[in-house]
Chain A
Amino acid sequence: MSEGSRRTSGPGRLLVAVYAVFALSASARAGVQIATGFSDAPVAYLLSAFAALVYVVATVALARPGRTARRVALVAVTVELLGVLTVGTVTVFDPGDFPDDTVWSLYGRGYGFVPLVLPVLGLLWLRRTWRAAD
């Protein structure tokens, strides 16, 4: 469809916008962290960079039509959900492992828990639009 896939119309428009905000802010944050003080908390900063990459891939894949993009989006959003659950759980029980915040620390509490809700909405949206011809 010339107007783009069903994935980016209706609620999908909003979903991709929120993903883009996270892709942008996570990338900027990771970039600054790594550029200015990588040795302070290399694990947390690498994780920040990884989270940023996941958001960027998810945003682009959700926004693009086609089966390949759909599959990439599914993988990215699933990795995102696993990431926020893993890092969230680890930081709740042992904050010492991640001395500096990442987007996923404490299930994304620093970002109003949006990082926790977003992949769930992403998966629901992918399921809902899965059969659409694109």
Chain B
Amino acid sequence: MFAVVDYTVIVASLAYAAWALLAVVLGRPPREPYVIGAGVVEALIFVQVVVAIVVMAVDGAPSDLATFIGYLLMIVVILPLGLFWALAEKSRWGTAVLVVAALVIPVLVVRMQQIWDAGGT
């Protein structure tokens, strides 16, 4: 995969997690800015997924394709699901859900990189 896209997603999700964590510490519920922030991170994830699919179509898929697609699906749904679950909670714990959802993203990216670097069929 393209390292630039990967690292952009990692940095963006970590920055978002740090921002949301600050809100948790300050006792803030998840409000509009955090929804918009999640939207930005999600948009970057969409770019990454499209790039991954295009590169797979051109260069061939990694040998562990099933796991790779599993991670692709998970990285797309994690933040929307996190938002859905977080917004109903009007306390700092709602924002804490966003922190967890955001922290899963870099883990998924690193796992996808490992599968990708292991090579194709």
**Cβ contact within 8 Å between A17 and B91:** no
Q: Which B71-101 residues have a C-beta within 8 angstroms of A?
A: 73-74, 78, 81-82, 85-86, 88-89, 91, 93-94, 96-97, 100-101
**Cβ contact within 8 Å between B66 and A17:** no
Contacting residues, chain A, for B114 (C-beta < 8 A)? none
Interface size band for A: 20 to 34
Main secondary structure on B side of the interface with A:
helix
Given contacts A9-B89, A20-B85, contact A14 B70 (CB under 8 A): no
Interface centre among B86, B91, B93, B94 (most CB of A within 10 A): B93
List the A residue with the shortest CB-CB distance to B73.
Answer: A28
Asked whether B8 is an interface residue with its Cβ less than 8 Å from the other chain, the reply is no
Asked whether A35 is an interface residue with its Cβ less than 8 Å from the other chain, the reply is yes
Contacting residues, chain A, for B86 (C-beta < 8 A)? 13, 17
What's the least CB distance linking A29 to chain B, in Å? 8
Asked whether B104 is an interface residue with its Cβ less than 8 Å from the other chain, the reply is yes
Asked whether A36 is an interface residue with its Cβ less than 8 Å from the other chain, the reply is yes
Besides the known contacts A17-B82, A17-B96, A18-B100, 6 further A-B residue pairs in the complex with CB atoms under 8 A apart: A9-B91, A10-B93, A14-B97, A17-B101, A21-B100, A21-B104
| Chain B residues at the A interface, C-beta cutoff of 8 Å | 66-67, 70, 73-74, 78, 81-82, 85-86, 88-89, 91, 93-94, 96-97, 100-101, 104
| Chain A residues at the B interface, C-beta cutoff of 8 Å | 3-4, 9-14, 16-18, 20-21, 24-25, 28-29, 31-32, 35-36
